[in-house]
Structure 1
Amino acid sequence: MPASGTKFLALATASALGALLAVTVTPTAEANDGQRATSTDAALLAHAKKVAPLNAVANALGEQGRGAFADTYSDLHVDENGGSVTLLATDNTRAAKLVAAAKHAHPAINTALIRVQHAAYSRKTLDREIDKIFPLGAVKDASKEVYYGATPKADGSGITVEVKPSALRRVKAAQGTRLDGIPVTYVHGKIKTASSWRWNDSRPQIGGDVLVGNARKSGYVAQCTGGIAAENSHGRDYLITAAHCFPNGAGVYGEGGSTPGHWTGSHGKYFGKVTSTKDGWDAQLIDSGLYNGKGFNSDEADTPTGKWYAVNNVAYSYKGQRVCQDGARSFYNHKGVPCDITTSNDDYRYRIQWADGSLHNVRGVQGKGSYCGTEGDSGGLVFVVNDSRRRQARGIVSAGDGPGEIEWTEATDILHSFGLKLNPHQ
């Protein structure tokens, strides 16, 4: 494990993530995912019913906060136990209009669940400052970079910047306590190290399926997990997984072998080819070359084994909301589908290292819980349970710091960046 203790959630490096696997190609059929399920765990259904009004309110407020009311919107916090949604805003009058606009756009929401709290700065203002010091995408000269992460403070009072430990004292002395007048706190940072599996080797592949292909480090195999299945305006099928998994142009396969969960690294049946990467969202497209759900279909592999659920809607995550993730390695390590993950930070910039050694700045979400995931879960779908048949996409697994922390990038941003939509055809 690296000195930082940070893990990357895609099986492919020798230290943090397990042994690197020599490239072998052994096409072998594997078990199908099974049938789309009509029921799910009773506790998860009860939780979904309990928080549905809260999530509806949060989605409606967030929609306005990212749109016409970006000048006053700062943050949201969902209290699933207390049954309320706190809207942080810089102006009470504008906040009231934001709530009214959300109600107008979504008449069914219960505005009695909303609490308004004053914030010093809007998210737009804080993000503008963060963008200056932590632009998304590839890091061109890592030797000169001292910022490892950044996020707005939970109460909208300023920003927190994660700094290279050896440079922390120097940065504090040079920058002081404000950036362009905005209060800033500097803390030690870590690089999210990375390099790169549910079990299906026949079409259509879905979220949670095992992915195997040549790694970004030459001569090695990467194992990741399928995430968001989507299509373009012509109905062409794509599967989205983590950008750090495979290089552009790489062929992606199922896991070869007759026994699931043995991590052989051998190639099974061909899925498609990586055709596009958005490193700022840690996301890449696998093109099936097929259409209308024949190659990839918007479902996710879940429990019980052999069952799967339609993923037919998408939303952002907000502080306090619980999510699940269907990383394949967690499943085959007897962790099932981790669902005790609570969103702790809904706007988190962090730096991740790919297997080829390159560094990339990413924008996503952070969650914490007793168990959130492990290496090999990279690219897996992050979702919430809507009901006994449907799931809501929230994003894909990107990185983590031990089993109790996970980072994911958001489904809405990823789909928008690629110009795609979900494709739950079957």
Structure 2
Amino acid sequence: MKRSTRIAVALATAATLAGLLPVSPAQAAGTTYTDAEIAAMTPAAQDRLLGPLRRVANAVDAFGREGGAAYYSGLALDGNHGSVTVYLTDTGRKDAVLAAARRSDKGADVSLLRFARGAYSRKELQAAREQVLDRPSLVATSIESVSVPPTGEGLKVRVAQGTALTAAKAPAQLFGVPVTVETVQGSGEDKSRRRDERPWIGGAALTASYQNDAWTCTSGIPARRNYDNRWFLITAAHCYNEGDEIYTGPEGGGRNHVGRLAYEHQLYDAAAIDTSNTGPTLSWVWEGGQDNATDAPIDGYKYSYYGDWVCQSGFTSGQVCGIHVLGPDVKWTGSNGQKHRGVEGVKDDGIPSRGGDSGGLVWTYTSNGRQARGLVSWGDPWGTMRWTEATDILGAWGMSLA
């Protein structure tokens, strides 16, 4: 869609309790895929394979976060075999979960669900994680991150190489739950198209008023506030400060004013730029390289689940796909000293994010466009990336996609 048209539009491994592994509509009987085969699929092929799994996962997770919180550990997508494993501390609650999923989405295929035992609920593990983060010295001299796995077996604490440990390497018991400590290769860093114009969309280069020699971060979620329809463009909170005037990246001797940074949410590493005085936002995202970019519509937003695959559209990288979700609930401290919470993914054959990608949209392909998952927040040079989730960000501010 041309920019003028966009403006017009904007203005107007536990024991399985069920039988054989199920087959998704896109998976022939007996077919299995390796991770490498899924990563190499086109986005459209990934959607055909994973779409039914994502749909039923959304139905289950909506119940697990509320009505089933006392016994819901999490869930994991298994695109290799075409199933979704739901982990419950009380597997006798399986029928209640199935019934809730059917009520939530009558079109979701619950035959794709498999159930397994989770040792602890996600609610229990999240509470224990807060205590570990409040008293890190019980584990090590410095903690890099703490993850809650979907299987519910305990907390995973990561420390940088050379960090002195004060707890057994694996597994230790803290605050009533098992805690496994692992060492990672050094520390990562926060991740930050060129001179964009209204309507403002995701994937564009951003700078602050006091920065004019290069881009520093990327725009992510084009949004509007529900109660007054005011427009906002959301990026990462660690990039700028509340009250900053935000501009596009420089090009041709100038840059364009996007708006004033009105709100920050540190837990979700999100910053809302009020664009109401400069122009509307539109639910599209830049993709491709810095100088040969294309754009595509954003079609809704959902959570990311273990086993899923995503892409990201940070300005530096342009577009990176084949990122495998392996940590659906991770908490860490960013470069600004603030605790952030989100999702972790790994790209086995390259680097998923680079400096300047921060705030960029994380998404997955659907038949109608790109489904938003969140904002690039953190990455390391060895293939790991973390993002905060669009559902949490928009919900916290009472916003929707533009």
Which TM-score tier does this pair reach, normalised by the shorter chain? 0.7 to 0.9
1:16 alignment counterpart: none
* Matching residue within 339, 345, 348 for 2:321: 339
Cα distance in structure 2, aligned partners of 1:34 and 1:115: 48
Cα distance in structure 1, aligned partners of 2:212 and 2:251: 20
* Matching residue within 137, 151, 154 for 1:158: 154
Q: What amino acid does structure 2 have at the position aligned with 1:155? A: T
1:400 alignment counterpart: 379
Confirm whether residue 374 of structure 1 aligns to residue 372 of structure 2. no
2:365 alignment counterpart: 385
Contact 2:331-2:339 at 8 Å conserved across structures: yes
Post-superposition CA distance 1:139-191 (Å, at most 9, x none): 9xxxx973331112453111122346665432449x98212321112233655
* Matching residue within 374, 388, 399 for 1:409: 388
Q: What amino acid does structure 2 have at the position aligned with 1:179? A: L
Confirm whether residue 418 of structure 1 aligns to residue 397 of structure 2. yes
The alpha-carbon deviation at position 301 of structure 1 amounts to 1.4
Confirm whether residue 74 of structure 1 aligns to residue 76 of structure 2. no
Cα distance in structure 1, aligned partners of 2:345 and 2:209: 29
Secondary structure class of the residue paired with 1:150 = strand
1:297 alignment counterpart: 282
Matches within 5 A, 1:117-156: 117-134=116-133, 146-156=142-152
Q: How many residues align?
A: 359
Confirm whether residue 241 of structure 1 aligns to residue 240 of structure 2. no
Q: What amino acid does structure 2 have at the position aligned with 1:149? A: S
Structure 1 residues 43 and 234: alpha-carbon distance in aligned structure 2, compared to 1, 3 A threshold: same
Secondary structure class of the residue paired with 2:374 = strand
Cα distance in structure 2, aligned partners of 1:343 and 1:400: 14
Contact 1:236-1:290 at 8 Å conserved across structures: no
Post-superposition CA distance 1:364-394 (Å, at most 9, x none): 110111231211111000011111x422110
Contact 1:326-1:381 at 8 Å conserved across structures: yes
The alpha-carbon deviation at position 214 of structure 1 amounts to 4.9
Confirm whether residue 284 of structure 1 aligns to residue 280 of structure 2. no
Cα distance in structure 2, aligned partners of 1:234 and 1:167: 49
The alpha-carbon deviation at position 73 of structure 1 amounts to 0.9
Q: What amino acid does structure 2 have at the position aligned with 1:94? A: R
Cα distance in structure 1, aligned partners of 2:141 and 2:241: 24
Structure 1 residues 52 and 80: alpha-carbon distance in aligned structure 2, compared to 1, 3 A threshold: same
* Matching residue within 356, 361, 370 for 2:339: 361
Confirm whether residue 348 of structure 1 aligns to residue 330 of structure 2. yes
Post-superposition CA distance 1:220-270 (Å, at most 9, x none): 976111100111121111011011111111111112223xxxxxxx75011
Contact 2:87-2:150 at 8 Å conserved across structures: no
Contact 1:255-1:268 at 8 Å conserved across structures: yes
Cα distance in structure 2, aligned partners of 1:145 and 1:242: 28
Cα distance in structure 2, aligned partners of 1:237 and 1:307: 23
Secondary structure class of the residue paired with 1:212 = strand
Cα distance in structure 1, aligned partners of 2:52 and 2:275: 37
Q: What amino acid does structure 2 have at the position aligned with 1:351? A: T
Cα distance in structure 2, aligned partners of 1:257 and 1:131: 44
The alpha-carbon deviation at position 280 of structure 1 amounts to 1.3
Post-superposition CA distance 1:189-216 (Å, at most 9, x none): 65543374x234211110111111157x
Structure 1 window deviating more from structure 2 (55-64 vs 183-192): it is 183-192
CA RMSD of aligned residues (A): 2.9
Contact 2:195-2:250 at 8 Å conserved across structures: no
The alpha-carbon deviation at position 111 of structure 1 amounts to 1.1
Cα distance in structure 2, aligned partners of 1:107 and 1:411: 24
Cα distance in structure 2, aligned partners of 1:44 and 1:160: 31
User: Which protein, 1 or 2, shows the higher relative CO under an 8 Å CA cutoff with sep ≥ 6?
Assistant: 1
* Matching residue within 170, 179, 194 for 2:174: 179
2:316 alignment counterpart: 329
The gaps in structure 1 that reach 5 residues or longer are: 1-31, 259-265, 332-336
* Matching residue within 192, 210, 214 for 2:205: 210
The gaps in structure 2 that reach 5 residues or longer are: 7-39
Q: What amino acid does structure 1 have at the position aligned with 2:373? A: R
Confirm whether residue 97 of structure 1 aligns to residue 84 of structure 2. no
Cα distance in structure 2, aligned partners of 1:330 and 1:306: 11
Post-superposition CA distance 1:295-321 (Å, at most 9, x none): 221111135955322223111000110
Cα distance in structure 1, aligned partners of 2:241 and 2:176: 41
Cα distance in structure 1, aligned partners of 2:67 and 2:317: 41
Q: What amino acid does structure 1 have at the position aligned with 2:378? A: A
Q: What amino acid does structure 2 have at the position aligned with 1:161? A: V
Confirm whether residue 170 of structure 1 aligns to residue 166 of structure 2. yes
Cα distance in structure 2, aligned partners of 1:340 and 1:195: 18
Cα distance in structure 2, aligned partners of 1:161 and 1:278: 24
Matches within 5 A, 1:312-323: 312-323=299-310
1:50 alignment counterpart: 49
Q: What amino acid does structure 2 have at the position aligned with 1:202? A: E
1:201 alignment counterpart: 196
* Matching residue within 221, 234, 245 for 1:251: 245
Contact 1:210-1:328 at 8 Å conserved across structures: yes
Give percent identity, aligned residues only.
Answer: 32
